[in-house]
Structure 1
Amino acid sequence: MRLHTREWGTGDRVALLVHGIMSDHRSWRSVGPALAARGYRVIAVDLRGHGASPRGEGATPVDRYAPERFADDLVETLPAGAELALGHSLGGLTLLHAVERLRPARAVYSDPAWKFARPGVFDPGIFTQFKRAGRTQIAALNPRWSAADVDDELATLADWDPDSALALSALADRAELPGTAPAVPSLVQVAGRGFVIAPEDAERLRGLGYEVRTVAGAGHTIHRDDLPGFLASLDGWL
């Protein structure tokens, strides 16, 4: 599936941005221009079932929104060999499935949803409850977001297919960290107030060859909670 994209900048270097669940390219409203100012041509996608991209097709949510489907779409839509590929949350899971084919020079996984489910603790199907979230609820859950970020979240929720969350719920038994060394030099950003990458996970990833950096005080969507901290944690990777 060819995905809808948004671009910033005209630099010689290419950066690819892949958003998280419930969101779309608008999540990167501050990151795109910041990377363009550093000399990149930035390409952000809307994953299937998100933003202006098509909905998935198939009989079940898993048929429509399995991680492999998302990854195949990236490979079909984005150029291989970019200097940088960055995926947040579901985007980090998607990028992991696509990275060997996209072969960027560097990959950054921002609080990636590799362990998107914790049986008996967290079911990603809960995200369907946010489909009709209002401004007050979004602002309360994300007190460090700007008003513009809250506006964008309302707009992206309206364009989001919640079956993508049901697909992850159905695949909960597959939720696991990578088991092998990274295919390309890779950084994992961990949200200091996040919940998807535990300290023991970070140690396991370091043992596999990933660099791991924590952005203290930031919630799961690091680039919206603390843009300066997000960019500072990319020192040496941009």
Structure 2
Amino acid sequence: MRLNAIETGTGDRVVVLLHGMMGSAESWWRVAPLLVANGFRVIALDLPGHGCSPRDERCTVASAADAVVATLAACAPDAAVHGIGHSYGGTVLAAVTERMPMGQVVYVDSACAFEGGAEQRALAEQYEHDRRNRRDPAWLLSSRPFYSATDAEVEARAAERFDPMTMASISVGDDVAHEPGSGSILVRAEPSAFVSDSTAARLRAAGVDVRDIPGAAHTIWYSHFEQFRAALPEFFGST
């Protein structure tokens, strides 16, 4: 599968951006220009069933990772690729690191794991209910007061394009877990509903650089943009 990509910038220093569930490549609209300004070529991808990428009712984390690798091979052959993945996109990114050499890898509030055993259609109905709400920018602004008007428009458009059956397929099989590697970075909302304190402590002990942002929402760069930027000088420079 070849994924839809939004590409900005030039050069051989590539950052691939992988959004979370019900997001899209556009979710990085404020992050990507800052990366380009710091000398990176940015490839923001729509994961399967999101944005303008193909749907796949048999999608798995493994097949999504394969699609990312195939797309990068076509878009950026022989480039040094770094990665930033949010939530579900972090899980996919962790699987990508097992398939191709990567530079610096950042997981944004992601435990890099998915619980299996779901019934696909029932879970898809839950996602559809959430999607209907999120298609309305006004609802997003009322439920997420830290959103800007552009944030709400981008995420409402992502919800409009989201395919619940593709995403529900991820949770149908066995549990999925990909351990972040030593030297990777985890930028974590604190407190986090997705990465517990005990998980963060375990990852620190395993060599993962865990950087907490107190009070941040799950989509950290929407609620705490400047803190997110300051947490990653490797990508955004010093502030």
What TM-score results when the alignment is normalised by the length of structure 2? Answer: 0.85
Q: SS at 1:130's partner residue?
A: helix
Identity level (%) = 35
Deviation digits for residues 5-40 of structure 1, max 9, x if unmatched?
001212442111111110111100000001001011
Q: Which amino acid aligns with 1:137?
A: W
Aligned residue in 1 for 2:63: 69
1:176 CA displacement:
4.3
* Aligned ranges 1:113-124 → 2 under 5 Å: 113-117=111-115
For residue 112 of structure 1, report the CA deviation from its aligned partner. 1.3
Q: Is the 8 A contact 1:223 1:230 kept in 2?
A: yes
3-state DSSP of counterpart to 2:91: helix
RMSD (Å), alpha carbons: 2.3
Q: What residue is the counterpart of 1:174 in the other structure?
A: 175
Q: Please say if 1:161 is aligned against 2:155.
A: no
Give the secondary-structure state (helix, strand or coil) at the position aligned to 1:202.
Answer: helix
> Take 1:20 and 1:185, find their aligned partners in 2: how far apart are those partners?
22
Q: Could you tell me which amino acid in structure 1 is paired with residue 20 of structure 2?
A: G
Do structure 1's residue 34 and structure 2's residue 34 form an aligned pair?
yes
Give the match's secondary structure for 2:51.
coil
Q: Distance in 2 between matches of 1:68 and 1:45?
A: 16
Is contact 1:81-1:104 (8 Å) kept? no
Q: Distance in 1 between matches of 2:12 and 2:178?
A: 33
Report the Cα distance in structure 1 between the residues aligned to 2:37 and 2:211, rounded to whole angstroms. 23
Return closer, same or farther for 1:100/1:114 CA change in 2, 3 Å cut-off: closer
State the alpha-carbon separation in 2 of the partners of residues 110 and 131 from structure 1: 22
Shift of residue 102 of structure 1? Answer: 2.8
CA contact (8 A) 2:138 2:152 kept: no
| Displacement of 1:82 | 2.8
Are residues 1:10 and 2:10 paired? yes
CA contact (8 A) 1:81 1:102 kept: no
User: Matched residue of 1:185: which SS?
Assistant: coil
Deviating 4+ runs (over 6 angstroms)? none
Listed one character per residue, the Cα deviations across residues 19-69 of structure 1 (whole Å, up to 9, x for unaligned) are 11101111000000010010111111011111111111xxxx4x2x21111
What is residue 142 of structure 1 aligned with on the other side?
144
In the comparison of the two structures, how many residue pairs are matched? 225
Unaligned stretches of 5+ residues in structure 1? none
Deviation at 1:222, TM superposition (A): 0.8
- CA deviation vs aligned residue, 1:135-159 (integer Å, no higher than 9, x gap): 3332233211111000111111111
* Contact kept? 2:85, 2:108, Cα under 8 Å: yes
Query: Is contact 1:124–1:168 with CA below 8 Å preserved after alignment?
Result: no
Is the Cα–Cα contact under 8 Å of residues 128 and 165 in structure 1 kept in the other structure?
no
Counterpart residue number, 1:222: 220
In structure 2, the CA distance between the partners of 1:195 and 1:124, relative to structure 1 (3 Å rule), is farther
Preserved contact between residue 74 and residue 98 of structure 1 (Cα < 8 Å): yes
**Equivalent AA in structure 2 for residue 30 of structure 1:** R
Which amino acid in 1 is paired with 2:142? A
Q: Decide whether aligned partners of structure 1 residues 73 and 226 sit closer, same or farther in structure 2, where only a CA change above 3 A counts.
A: same
